[in-house]
Every structure is written in structure tokens, then in C-alpha cells.
């Protein structure tokens, strides 16, 4: 009889990255872009998408968001559904480039296993596409893309293997 002894860390060397584009926003006159609120359909889509993810056993330990009102509101709906108020606002996520996404991810605390990052187009779509061979032509509002990252340390994100998990759009759930 042979016994294989696996160290417990063997089961903890995977991270999950979830990218979320903010829900549908409004364009009120005389409103700064950072202060644009969600539209009514955005207020419906965000909790709907969060509940869909949770019902499919997606885990989220931490929420990182752009400081724009529409992304913060979207993020808060997710945090409420996941019963986790661990939300961090990061200025660089407003109109973030792929380099800014990478820097943010590589600086995440390693105790975070599953992170959801809330940001804007076009940057979030470009970044999602840079991580996969899947064709994510356009991330519509409140869409979600997820990847499994083969690492224990976020600092190793760039060189770590990434596995595409899913791409969900509000109109498809």
C-alpha cells in the first residue's frame, strides 16, 4: 500500500481573478464623469449578476474598485450579496491601462484568494483579452470575466499560468 502525503499548501496555490465592468450608468447633464450614477437597469443588473455568481459557487474575498460613483455602486451591490464589506477604492482603476491593472494585482495581499476588480471600458476589456486566447470582443456593462491563476503569490501574477473560467453578460443570465 502506497500513501501519498500532500502538503496542505498544495491545495492553496491557486488564486481567482474576477474582472467586473460597472453596471449601466446614466449621463445626467452637468455631472462630472466620476459622479455619474447607475441607471435603473444598472441597479437591477448588479445585484442580479452578483446573485448569479454566488449561486454558482463563485467565491470573492475582496473587492477593489475605481473611485467612480458607478463602479463603487456596482461593487457595493456585489459586496452586499457576498456579505463581505472588504472594499478598497483605487484611483488608478479609473481609466486603467493594462499596466495599471497588472501593478494593482501584483500588489494584492496574498491572504486574498479570490478578488473582484471593478473598472471601466476600454481598459478592462483590453486587460481581459491580454490574459486569454478567448475572444472577449467587448465587455458590456455589468459583465464579468474570471480566471484561475496558478500562484500562491499575487506578485508572480504576470508570469503565472492563467486559465479562463467564464465570461457572463447580464443579458445572458
Mean pLDDT of 63-77: 98
Reported as a pLDDT band with limits 50, 70 and 90, residue 137 is confident
Per-residue pLDDT at 25: 97
Could you tell me if 64 and 86 are in contact, meaning their C-beta atoms sit under 8 angstroms apart?
Answer: no
Rounded to two decimals, the pTM is 0.92
Per-residue pLDDT at 12: 55
- Of residues 67, 71, 129, 69, the one with CA closest to residue 98: 129
pLDDT tens column, 75-127: 999 999 999 988 999 999 999 999 999 999 999 999 999 999 999 999 999 99
CA–CA gap between residue 116 and residue 96 (Å, rounded) = 15
Per-residue pLDDT at 11: 44
pLDDT tens column, 7-55: 444 445 899 999 999 999 999 999 999 999 999 999 999 999 999 999 9
User: In sequence order, what E strands does 103-160 have?
Assistant: 114-119, 144-149
- Of residues 114, 115, 111, the one with CA closest to residue 93: 115
CA–CA gap between residue 161 and residue 21 (Å, rounded) = 23
- Of residues 154, 107, 99, the one with CA closest to residue 126: 99
Spatial neighbors of 88 by CB under 8 A, at least 6 apart, are 62, 63, 64, 65
Amino acid at each position: 500500500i502506497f500513501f501519498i502525503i500532500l502538503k496542505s499548501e498544495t491545495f492553496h496555490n491557486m488564486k481567482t481573478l474576477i474582472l467586473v465592468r460597472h453596471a449601466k450608468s446614466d449621463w445626467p447633464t452637468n455631472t462630472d464623469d466620476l459622479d455619474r450614477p447607475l441607471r435603473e437597469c444598472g441597479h437591477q443588473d448588479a445585484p442580479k449578476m452578483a446573485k448569479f455568481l454566488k449561486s454558482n459557487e463563485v467565491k470573492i474575498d475582496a473587492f477593489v474598485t475605481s473611485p467612480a460613483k458607478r463602479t463603487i455602486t456596482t461593487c457595493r451591490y456585489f459586496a452586499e450579496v457576498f456579505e463581505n464589506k472588504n472594499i478598497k477604492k483605487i484611483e488608478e482603476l479609473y481609466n486603467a491601462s493594462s499596466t495599471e491593472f497588472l501593478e494593482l494585482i501584483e500588489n494584492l495581499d496574498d491572504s486574498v484568494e479570490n478578488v473582484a476588480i471593478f473598472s471601466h471600458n476600454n481598459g478592462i476589456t483590453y486587460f481581459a483579452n491580454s490574459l486569454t486566447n478567448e475572444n472577449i470582443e467587448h465587455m458590456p456593462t455589468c459583465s464579468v470575466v474570471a480566471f484561475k491563476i496558478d500562484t500562491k503569490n499575487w506578485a508572480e501574477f504576470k508570469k503565472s499560468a492563467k486559465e479562463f473560467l467564464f465570461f457572463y453578460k447580464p443579458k445572458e443570465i
